[in-house]
Amino acid sequence: MYQLGIDIGSTTIKAALLADGQVLATAYERHNAAPAKVGSELLKKLLCGLDCRSELSVAITGSVGMGYATRLGVPFVQEVIAAAEVVKQMYPEVHTLVDIGGEDSKMIFFEPGRVPDMRMNGNCAGGTGAFIDQTATLLGVDVAEINSLAAKAKHVYPIASRCGVFSKTDIQNLISRSVSKEDIAASMLNAVALQVVSALARGMEILPKVLLCGGPFAYIPELRKALAKNLTPAHSSAEGEQAQQEDFCIVPEHSQFVPAIGTALLSAKGQCTMYRTDEARRLFDETDDKRVDLENTLPPLFKDEEEYKEWLKNKKLNFAGFYEPVNPSVSPRSGRFFLGVDSGSTTTKVVLLDEQGTMVYSDYRYNNGNSYDAFLGALQHMHATVGDNIEIAGSCSTGYGEQLLKTAFRLDHGIVETMAHFTAAKAMLPEVSFVLDIGGQDMKAIFVQNGSIRRIEINEACSSGCGSFIMTFAKQLGFEVGEFARMATLAKHPYDLGTRCTVFMNSKVKQAMREGAKIEDIAAGFSYSVIKNCLYKVMKLQSFDQLGEHIMVQGGTFRNHSVVRALELLTGKDVTVSPVPELMGAYGCALYALRASKK
């Protein structure tokens, strides 16, 4: 008699095969928002050694598992109950269970003769695997490197782990102070441990033995140490402290499979669904095309590839000759040129114009918390490309590092970002009535009347309408941003994700996956969500007439054509976008320097 438990979480799918309560085999894969496809391949590998006529009892658990259990007619087990069953049958000495998953965490307290006290995190993904993934992205390392970095740390700094948005500010601050990646990694793991204890214990005493389970605990030993250190009192010697921590916590052999194992154990109890092995192998086949409903969808951004190509062709017609980059294989340029730099919190953009205002060189790079070195590197690359016989006749800076670069490199001018973007927009679209700039973590909406700025709206603490919002989720789902954006343009049923913040959006994405939404539908939903957030939460528009008829969009987010198209469909207006929207702040600075020199 075999038991099969399948755990479909927000980022991974895990399965455990048991025989008479003993673990025979396990399988673990990231599903990248395609649980059915990955699950189908995973089950074929897991069950390949069994006789086709063998029988299995099957049950499903996990934050995304309920929708699939409903469609397949398979019993669903709540994951906390599944985890509790493992403790009950296999680890009776355990008093507390702590489980960290991709986007959820849970804690269960066991007392003899009492029903287990179960706690789970709410909508916030702080203190979970997603939080660790986001930190790895900010540090520019693979998640697998986090453990080795943390093991070499010398100091631990305070980081707000309650919210992914707030933590970015703390981590960026540490990066800008040149704190080592090792110390930041250790600080983040310590913050996760503190968040789990404070958010889930809620006054309950965490007594030994403590069973640790979930992927982050399984693959990041330094996280286990951080949690144990926060649970046990300080000891006089490092050896004694380590021994005390090891005695305090248990890490089971299959710690990342605990809910799947518990689900398998429960599948054999009561009324269960039985499958032959050959039927179980095909369990997920063809479920990717089935949806629970079609109510939460939005209109497609483009009806087909041809419409997208025609739209793209029309967008490019307006700017012939705008950008004529220097060819390094041709003789170097000489003459008078004008330099603009947009030094942002995460990236540095540089533009060089000739005396006719044509862009001849540009540079876009991440600054890794060091605006000075990023700009210096851009200048060195510029001279290597354009040549040393150029005269910088005027220069201007804007952005986060405006004053630093203006002072350090003796630039001629410095202007605020809104003026830089307005200058660039007006140069490309003289009759502009509205400018929308969306960057990585900020947004600026500029309303124009009679050629002058009438009012400006900016986002405050929330980054849900910005580029990092899409980038974070694309990476969590296993895609590069460009690939994610391209998929969105041809989605047939864009999923309506609403306008919730980055943290709360996790639950909407899980709901979409439960309902069988394809990855391209989710990607298109993000594009709609960014624009909806901007229109309704930041600008609080009462009527689209306030935007006028000449809309200019810029900022790196608008390299994603699906976001541009979402704005057009939601407002019913034609939108102008430059060939290099991410460079428009720097372009505006260079234009300012050029015009100032003529005065």
Task: Report yes or no: 98 and 227 within 8 Å, Cβ to Cβ.
Answer: yes
Same fold, 1-88+255-290 and 305-317+426-588: yes
Q: Which CATH number fits domain 305-317+426-588: 3.30.360.10, 3.30.420.40, 3.40.1160.10, 2.60.120.650?
A: 3.30.420.40
Q: Which range scores top for mean pLDDT: 212-226, 393-407, 485-499?
A: 393-407
What is the spatial distance between Cα 488 and Cα 524, in angstroms, rounded to a whole number?
4
pLDDT at 423 over 70: yes
Six-digit token string for 80: 């906390």
- Distance between alpha carbon 359 and the CA centroid of its chain, in Å? 33
Question: What is residue 215's predicted lDDT score, i.e. its pLDDT?
Answer: 84
518: preceding bond cis by omega (within 30 degrees): no
What is the spatial distance between Cα 352 and Cα 341, in angstroms, rounded to a whole number?
9
Question: What is residue 405's predicted lDDT score, i.e. its pLDDT?
Answer: 95
- Distance between alpha carbon 291 and the CA centroid of its chain, in Å? 25
What is the spatial distance between Cα 105 and Cα 258, in angstroms, rounded to a whole number?
13
For the chain, domain boundaries: 1-88+255-290, 92-251, 305-317+426-588
> Of 233, 214, 311, which is closest to residue 7 (Cα–Cα)?
214
Q: pLDDT for 315-363, tens place per residue?
A: 876 676 788 887 766 666 788 999 999 998 778 999 999 999 999 999 9
CATH 3.30.420.40 fits 1-88+255-290, yes or no: yes
pLDDT-derived band at 15, boundaries 50, 70, 90: very high
Six-digit token string for 91: 């680890």
467 vs 289: which has the higher pLDDT: 467
Q: pLDDT for 37-65, tens place per residue?
A: 899 999 999 998 888 888 899 999 988 88
Percent of the chain clearing pLDDT 70 (strictly above):
87
Residues in CB range of 565: below 8 A, 6 or more apart: 301, 302, 311, 489, 527
pLDDT at 237 over 50: no
pLDDT at 236 over 50: no
pLDDT at 233 over 60: no
Task: Report yes or no: 157 and 182 within 8 Å, Cβ to Cβ.
Answer: no
Q: Output b/e per residue, 382-416; b: 16+ Cβ within 10 A.
A: beebbeeebebbbbbbbbbbbebbbeebebbbbbe
Question: What is residue 467's predicted lDDT score, i.e. its pLDDT?
Answer: 62
95 DSSP assignment: S
* CATH class assigned to 92-251: alpha beta
Q: Output b/e per residue, 542-570; b: 16+ Cβ within 10 A.
A: eeeeebeebbbbbbbbbbbbbbbbbbbbb
Task: Report yes or no: 31 and 63 within 8 Å, Cβ to Cβ.
Answer: no
Average predicted confidence (pLDDT) for the chain: 84
| H or E segment and range at residue 112 | none
Q: pLDDT for 142-190, tens place per residue?
A: 888 999 999 999 999 988 765 555 567 778 778 777 889 999 999 999 9
pLDDT at 228 over 60: yes
Q: pLDDT for 480-502, tens place per residue?
A: 888 888 999 989 999 888 765 55
> Of 11, 33, 30, 12, which is closest to residue 522 (Cα–Cα)?
33
Least confident segment among 233-242, 263-272, 571-580 = 233-242
